[in-house]
Amino acid sequence: MTNAVMIAGTHSGVGKTTVALGLMALLSRRGMSVQPYKVGPDFIDPSHHTAICNRPSRNLDTYIMGTDGVRRTYARTQADISVIEGVMGLYDGLDSTDTASSAHVAKTLGVPVVLVVNVHGMSRSAAAVVKGYQTLDPDINIAGLIVNKVGSLRHRTLVEDGLKGTGIDIPVVGTLPPNKELTLPSRHLGLHMAHEQEWDYGKLADFLENNVDVDSLLDISSMAQSPDTPYEIVAPQADVRIGVAMDSAFCFYYQDMFDELQQCGAEVVNFSPMSDPMPDMDGLILGGGYPELFPAQLSSSNTRQEIRAAAQDGMPVYAECGGLMYLGKSLEVGQKKYEMAGVLDSESRMVQRFQALGYTEAEVMNDTHLSGKGKTLRGHEFHYSVTECGRDARFAYRMRRGKGILDGQDGLMAYNTLASYMHTHPAAVSMERFVNSCREYSRK
């Protein structure tokens, strides 16, 4: 049985990421194997988890993946402890439901919750906040509290006495003083990715070591229910090569996708469209990321012409968000236009405000190498760009939820290429059809 704990918060910005990263770093430093997870569709926080724990972080999202998909991913755990970082506030889910919330994941997996509470400007009132979280859903095991922004020893005493005086039997396992040095830099899509700069995770570990009763927290983690029968990844002999754009411009991927590609018999070949020639491959995946930060490098690389020629030859290509922007004719950044791959009859430009944010649901209108007509796909979208298409543009998806590219449509199609603003997950749409399409192309 693997111990597990979820670090959740009363709301966004309460300090749960600092606590989660610090706990991962501290337990790893103690020699424990730590399996990290992130609730929700986030790509950025998991990059830090992976860097700290030296094993891929995995996402747990009950909207996109369904509860069965979440259980399957969680059942892959083989570690001393699983640490799950929550999303937003504990009960914040899809619309006014608990679907996709940290609470829903905790219930689905039977994992105890340590709740981070910002007590700045509060003493006994903190007890009212905790009481509300404790009683809203009795099926959630809030087994410990970490109080953040504690100004002094007296402030800590007032908060703890207030909790005891109202009969709350949840132990305080950590009290964190303000610490501006631990602020993590962010930008329009969230924190900076782990690979973008040197991070001193040791400072986070020290901060947790000095302010959290880690032994009590480990005791809480032993309350976790055993996961389902372990789900082993069995990869057959690879008979098809799929290139994956992997660099600072294209870095938004789920580990579960790589696993499924291998399970379907694909060899994954990572390369950078900015600096590497196109490898020998039978298909291409271009994930999201930050092409807007590297437009000159992407435009000056001969790889974009190689990708265009391969796409025109019928090689299967699948792209999401940043990949969609790259496959168009041009990308405009700061009133300067850069040539892109030119596979799609589209042009993208960056704007100052986000254009779409949230979960999506799409009906497949046209057969693609990813899914058949009539299927329903779930995913999410978050971007600061606008993509304009030619009048003869063909789309694969009709959006039931979400914005898409144009007039509620997404999934731009050309040749054997599919590119969308929507990010998907293999639990929502299997990669098997795409791999088979690549296999057919390899036999031409």
Among 78, 69, 131, 128, which Cα is nearest to 100's? Answer: 69
Q: Using an 8 Å Cβ cutoff, are 284 and 316 in contact?
A: yes
Query: Any idea which residue has 């927290």 for tokens?
Result: 217
Among 298, 317, 272, which Cα is nearest to 416's? Answer: 317
Catalytic residue among 251, 321, 389, 438: 321
* Residue 353: how many other CB atoms lie within 10 Å: 6
Query: Any idea which residue has 């974009």 for tokens?
Result: 304
Classified as helix, coil or strand, 130 is helix
- Catalytic annotation on 389? no
Among 76, 74, 132, 139, which Cα is nearest to 104's? Answer: 139
Quick one: tokens of 150? 């504690």
Residues whose CB falls within 8 Å of the CB of residue 168, separated by 6 or more in sequence, listed in order: 127, 130, 131, 134
* Residue 99: how many other CB atoms lie within 10 Å: 16
The dihedrals phi and psi of 355, each to the nearest 5 degrees, come to -100, -25
Q: Using an 8 Å Cβ cutoff, are 85 and 241 in contact?
A: no
What gap in Å lies between CA 205 and CA 28, rounded to an integer? Answer: 9
Q: Using an 8 Å Cβ cutoff, are 425 and 64 in contact?
A: yes
Quick one: tokens of 416? 């054997």
Helices (H) then strands (E): counts for the chain: 13, 24
Q: Where are the alpha helices (DSSP H) in 222-370?
A: 255-263, 295-300, 303-312, 322-327
What gap in Å lies between CA 145 and CA 225, rounded to an integer? Answer: 20
Active-site residues, by number, are 321
